[in-house]
Chain A
Amino acid sequence: MLPMLEKRRTLAGVMSWIGLGILVAFILIAVLAPIIAPYPAVGPNSQFLTPPNPLCGACAPPSFSHWMGTDNLGQDVLTRVLWGAQTSLEVMAIGVILALAVGFPVGLYSGYVGGSIDKTILLVMDSVYAFPGLLLAALVAAMLGKGPFNIGIAITVIYIPLYYRVTRNQTLSVREETYVEAARSLGARPWTIMWLYIGYNVLITIPVIFALSAADAILTAAGLSYLGLGIQLPTPDWGLDLSVAQQFLTDGVWWTSFFPGLMIILLTVGLSFLGEGLNDLINPLLKKGRA
């Protein structure tokens, strides 16, 4: 996927590179958080440094020692934001990878066999898809309990129908390709035809939707945490920190909500750029490949 980005200095290529850069930066932040974070993630870091604020406990505006200020518990916002990347990426990765791992094979099978099996699966998936995403995730999260892994699964449930739909529709078109008929005429096994001849050719359209759904998953995860259904305190999490910070926002304490929010926006935009950029790059390539 990546070598072809180099050759194309188009808007799509630039977008993909920016998106990829942002994603890699966030992955680095998440991995290096234990090393680069200036303070411990949990627990007050500032109460001995600044006098308590009557409005919001131990919070303090951005300063030289706390670049992004501290929150009501006196925790360094920069540290929380850096550690929060870990939680967000973890939830996103679990959610999106599981959704792909389920949605892709089911979509492939459904599209390949067709008939009443296909119609039944399609009906089930469409009813799940029609359900509002955040509500569904909230429902599943409430059932499973808190913690990054459970939230990941809750998010998976929303995105399985998405991956299923994309895979199935693509399978329906690849199934009619003449090389599939040729493989059949040579006596290829159904399993081989499904995975090697169809699946492989469907898979190349997945990175686009992978990036786009990852962006969406970050927002959903933040939303769940914000609603108190996701990650539990004191685990650093952007959505959760936003939700705590919200009550002090009216008193002019902007920094505790601004920075986690900025992170959510940055990562989401980065992933969207990557997805849209890849979409523009892959589509013409696909068309060229078919011609």
Chain B
Amino acid sequence: MGYVHALDDISLDVASGESIGIVGETGSGKSTLGKAVLEILPPRTEVKGSLFFRGEELGQLDKARIRHIRGEEIALIFQDPMTRLNPLMTIEDHFIETIKAHQRVSRHEALARAEAALASMRVPESRIGNYPHEFSGGMRQRIMIALALVLNPSLLVADEPTTSLDVIVEAQILEILEDLKRTYKMSLLLITHNLGIVAEVCDRVAVFYAGKIVEVGSVDDIFTRPVHPYTRLLLQSIIHLDTKELHSIDGVPPDLLSPPTGCRFHPRCPYAQAVCQEKIPPLEQFRKDQLAACHFGKDFL
């Protein structure tokens, strides 16, 4: 065995009210990033670097302060709603526990807020006394989102929030997220491999490959004028209504126990040269606010 560098040399900033999409293949480190932001990585995980939230460096804060930030200021929505609620607690208990963990409010007031949060997710408030197994997957995900949003966090990390849901529920949830963004000036870190969602919801997008950012920029730039070959191939693989032939990227994502030398994408890159095997390409600016990590980025402009 050895150490897996799930993420390497990641630098991102999210402005207030901005939503940024994180896209990449399975295993590219997207979810690890989300958990790192909330400091809920599994034990024996080493994190180097710094993370600033409203001027506070999260790594320097004590555990009690971090606990308060979690849920109240930064919230996380997970990708698998079926198992994210305690099977022995009612929805009401989940909400009251969460609210009371952060604020001194009466049970009555907590309940009122819980009902309001559920109503905003279009979950009938009459069902607040039910147990998680009495809800469908889509309902449970809405409950999870309501739970994450009941304290009005200023940053929401959504880790593939709609992956296990059908398209109608997906559309509803995306609509709700956009509403929240507008109403509360909430920042959103949307982790997904669905490029369509990113195009719809996000302002900026960061493309991850094998634990590294290969390209970052505005949604417009990335979707219409991508620089990095990986981004280009990723966009080509999207299925449209008029898609006649499926495009895929040959090869598989690298094993992060022993990542490829140089540019991590070079074994799968159709444009790879000798230099790509040897030198790690730095993240360079190619257009205003559009950065990519490719030795030949200029050729793709």
Contacts across chains A and B counted by CB atoms under 8 Å: 69
B71 touches A187 (CB 8 A): yes
Q: How many residues of B contact A (CB 8 A)?
A: 28
**Distance in angstroms between the alpha carbons of A204 and B86 in the assembled complex:** 13
Contact segment of B74-82, B115-123, B269-277: B74-82
Contact of A185 among B43, B71, B97, B133 (CB under 8 A): B71
Instruction: Flag whether A25 is at the interface (Cβ < 8 A).
Output: no
B88 touches A200 (CB 8 A): yes
How distant is B96 from chain A, measured CB to nearest CB, in Å? 11
A196 touches B89 (CB 8 A): yes
B88 touches A201 (CB 8 A): yes
How distant is B159 from chain A, measured CB to nearest CB, in Å? 10
A188 touches B86 (CB 8 A): no
A185 touches B76 (CB 8 A): yes
Main secondary structure of the interface of A (DSSP, over half): helix
A184 touches B70 (CB 8 A): yes
B88 touches A186 (CB 8 A): no
Q: B63-105 toward A: CB 8 Å interface, digit per residue (1/0)?
A: 0000111111001101010011111110000000110011000
- Specify which chain A residues have a CB less than 8 angstroms from the CB of B189 in the assembled complex: none
How distant is A284 from chain B, measured CB to nearest CB, in Å? 15
Instruction: Flag whether B227 is at the interface (Cβ < 8 A).
Output: no
Contact of B86 among A185, A189, A201, A290 (CB under 8 A): A201
Question: Would you list 17 pairs from A and B whose C-beta atoms are within 8 A, ordered by A residue?
Answer: A179-B83, A182-B85, A185-B38, A185-B70, A185-B148, A187-B70, A187-B71, A187-B98, A187-B101, A188-B97, A192-B97, A196-B89, A196-B97, A197-B86, A197-B89, A200-B88, A201-B87
New A-B pairs, 5, CB < 8 Å, besides A179-B87, A189-B67: A183-B86, A185-B40, A187-B71, A188-B97, A192-B97
Interface pairs A-B: 6 shortest CB-CB: A187-B71, A187-B70, A186-B71, A182-B84, A185-B76, A178-B83
